[in-house]
Each structure stands twice: as structure tokens, then as C-alpha cells.
Amino acid sequence: MGKPSGPNARQTDSGRLRAAWGDPVDEGAVRQIHACMADGTGAVGGVLMADHHLGYSMPVGGVVAYEGRISPSGVGYDIACGNKAVRVALTADEVRPRIAELMDEIWETISFGIGRRNKEPVDHPLFDDDPAWSIDVAAGLRSLARGQLGTVGAGNHYVDVFADGEDRVWIGVHFGSRGLGHRLATHFMRLGGGSDDFHAPPVLFDVDSRAGEEYRACMELAGRYAYAGRDWVCGRVCEILGSAALEEVHNHHNFAWLEEHGGRRLWVVRKGATPAFPGQRGFIGGSMGDVSVIVEGVDTEEAARGYRSTVHGAGRVMSRTAAAGRVRWRRGKGGRKRPVVVKEGRISRQMMEDWVRDWGVELRGAGTDESPHCYKRLPEVLEHHAGSVRVLHTLQPLGVAMAGPETHDPYRD
């Protein structure tokens, strides 16, 4: 197959690692993905996307194809984390004059973090019609899931308003299955012998074992739940903007799919990687001070080599602790946890606000651990995947809403 494009791209037939995109390639992530494909795992092959970095057990930006096996640690704690973008019937010229007012209403209406600021009920048929609720581990989580449906969470999860190159307005959101997915993942990783070690070997189940069948059912349930949450938030923001949705793009990027590659039916586990089959569209977010994009998969040898996958974001270049410093959470009045900085970070609030102001972004919330300084530039990252996806729309951020640094959320990423 052809060599991956982009500076410093690496093609390899060493072991089962097909290719590693990125500049530079993270050797720690390479070691992690090799461990996920060791002898006896059932792995056929794997790749690293250009936004890859270390993750729990399997690197973020990693893709591994297994024959007859599925990996809860590969999918990760935020099962079905993903992105949704919606184009609305408005122009940027109509939105810009009132973007501050609109972002205020989004900030007051959409719930970030673990609690629910907006008390309006959010419901969905999945709470009554999905057979996975009969599985013991899921049965006790239905109430938690009901309470968090439509909440965005913290960390790198967001609600954004964009303008594309044709002056059209888009809504973009990024979050997953919240506490439901986190607790399901925790259960199955423990069941499979997982440990708290960041570099723990992969947890794997035969897909036709009882554990494998139950994990697949719970993963699918978490997937429906994540889709329902992103649908509700996008619909609610449409109401705030006062406009109907004209088109949408919706993808998971932490999930496992049964797919055909090279004439074989394989379970493809993507952690922080977006499916990109020929003609399939995906929404990929940058940082709060960078562009985002709508892409489409193309049919090339390079795309096939990469298991029809692409990046899910820009990729971090600075850890949360390095950016924001070290924080301890202490209970204050009313039992609410509040952050206490015990070591200053490299990025100040002023640095972050100066960057987003220069981009003309109306910002609500956000901590310095999500500052644009912490991320690569998305266009540069996408250059590495020019041979497997094409950019359909480039989206400039007008408004960004994220949980603030005072928000405590154990299900952040």
C-alpha cells in the first residue's frame, strides 16, 4: 500500500502496526498500541491517527481491528463520545450582532458538569425499549442516566456556534454517554481484569462469550444514549437561535463497530478516531481558538490502510496539569466541591482570553486546561490525512461554551 501522506508520516509493517500519522509520532503511544496488538489478543492490525497521544491502556487516536474479540479498555471510559454538527437556516451576519446574548442563553440553558442547571425534563424512548436495561450492571444505572440525559459534562466537551465559508451558521457539540458510559466501562474493565495502571494491558472479551455479548449490548445502549443527548442539546440550541436544522453530521469516536476490511469481518475499536468510509461525513472540532471542519471520507489505498478512520480533533500538546496547574478539590459550603490551586500552571486566564478575543470568539466558561495553547492546529493535523479525507466545510468559531474551571465532574473525558 501507498505511504501515508504528510510530514514525518510513518508507514510500517513491523508487527501489526500498519501506520502512524503525526509530527512527531508519539513513541509512548506506539508502545501502547503495540501492547493492544500483542500475540494472543486477536488483533489483525492497528493504526495511529495524527492527533494521537497516550490514553488509558490504548492511545487516544488509536484504531485496532480484532477478529472475534472486543475491547472495553480500547473503547474507553466515555463510551460513544462523539460530535454532532447541525447547519441552521441563519447567516453569520444575522448571528454576529447578537452572539453575546445567544451565548448567555446557551450558557444558562444547557447544563455543563455533573448537575442539571436546566430543570426542564429530558426523556427518550430508549429508557423503555432497550433490552440492555435487563443486564444487571445496566439495571441500576437507569435513574442516573435519566438525570444526566442532555448534560454536556466538563473537560474538552463543548457547545459551539460556527460560521462556514459560505456565511452559513452551524451548531457543534462534543460529549458522550456521561455517567452511564463511565460506570458501564468501569464494570466491564474490572470484570476483564483491568487495573488502575495507565499502561495496563488491554481488556478483551470474545464477542460470543457472555461478557462479550453483555458488553456489546451495553455499549450499544450507551451509544443510543449519547446520540439522544447530542440530539437534544442541538435541538435546544436551535430553539435558542430561533432557527430550524437544515442538515446534520453525527458520529461517535469512542466505539467498536463490526466492519469488513480486506474481505474479513473485524471488530474495529476506535478510541478518539472518527469513521471515514467513502462518502461518510464527519465533524471534527479544533480548539476554542481554531477552526473546526466537516470532512468526507474518500476511497484510496491510504484510507483502506487506516481502517477508514481519521482524527477526532487536533490533539493535545500540553497536559491539563501543565496548563492549569495542580488542583485539589475541597468541599465548601453546601457540600459543593471547589478547586484549590496548589501549583500554578503555564497558561493564565489572560493568555487564553487574549487568544480567543483575537479570534473574535464569544467565550463562556472554560478552564485554562482547554486553552488553544494546549492543542495542535487542526489544519496542520489534517494535512497528514489528506490522502483519506477531504474537507467539505471549514468552520470559524463565533461562540464557545464549556464547563468552567470551578466545575467538578468525575466523568469529564
Averaged pLDDT score across all residues of the chain: 92
pTM for the full predicted model: 0.92
Residue 380 has pLDDT above 60, yes or no: yes
356 against 115, higher pLDDT: 356
Residue 326 has pLDDT above 60, yes or no: yes
pLDDT at 293: 98
pLDDT digits (tens, 9 = 90+) for 71-124: 999 999 999 999 999 999 999 999 999 999 999 999 999 999 876 777 788 999
Least confident of 194-203, 225-234, 317-326, 387-396: 317-326
pLDDT at 413: 52
Residue 178 has pLDDT above 80, yes or no: yes
pLDDT digits (tens, 9 = 90+) for 239-295: 999 999 999 999 999 999 999 999 999 999 999 999 999 999 999 999 999 999 999
First CA to last CA distance, the chain: 35
pLDDT at 116: 72
Q: What are phi and psi of 253, to 5 degrees?
A: -135, 10
pLDDT at 349: 93
pLDDT at 7: 35
pLDDT at 377: 97
pLDDT at 91: 98
pLDDT at 3: 37
pLDDT at 185: 98
Please write down the HEC assignment for all residues of the chain.
CCCCCCCCCEECCCCCEEEECCCCCCHHHHHHHHHHCCCCCCEEEEEEEEEEECCCCCCEEEEEEECCEECHHHHCCCCCCEEEEEEEEEEHHHHHHHHHHHHHHHHHHCCCCCCCCCCCCCCCCHHHHCHHHHCHHHHCCHHHHHHHCCCCCCCCCEEEEEECCCCEEEEEEEECCHHHHHHHHHHHHHHCCCCCCCCCCCCCEECCCHHHHHHHHHHHHHHHHHHHHHHHHHHHHHHHHCCCEEEEEEEECEEEEEEEECCEEEEEEEECEEECCECCEEEECCCCCCCEEEEEECCCHHHHHCCCEEECCCCECCCHHHHHEEEEEEECHHHCEEEEEEEECCCCHHHHHHHHHHCCCEEEECCHHHCHHHECCHHHHHHCCCCCEEEEEEEEEEEEEECCCCCCCCCCC
pLDDT at 330: 72
Task: Please report, rounded to a whole number, the percentage of residues in the chain having pLDDT higher than 90.
Answer: 85
Residue 8 has pLDDT above 50, yes or no: no
Residue 401 has pLDDT above 50, yes or no: yes
Residue 166 has pLDDT above 70, yes or no: yes
pLDDT at 176: 97
pLDDT at 2: 32
Residue 52 has pLDDT above 80, yes or no: yes
pLDDT at 5: 43
Mean pLDDT of the 170-183 span? 97
What is the C-alpha radius of gyration for the chain, rounded to an integer number of angstroms? 20
pLDDT digits (tens, 9 = 90+) for 288-312: 999 999 999 999 999 999 999 999 9
What confidence category does residue 343 fall into, taking pLDDT thresholds of 50, 70 and 90?
Answer: confident
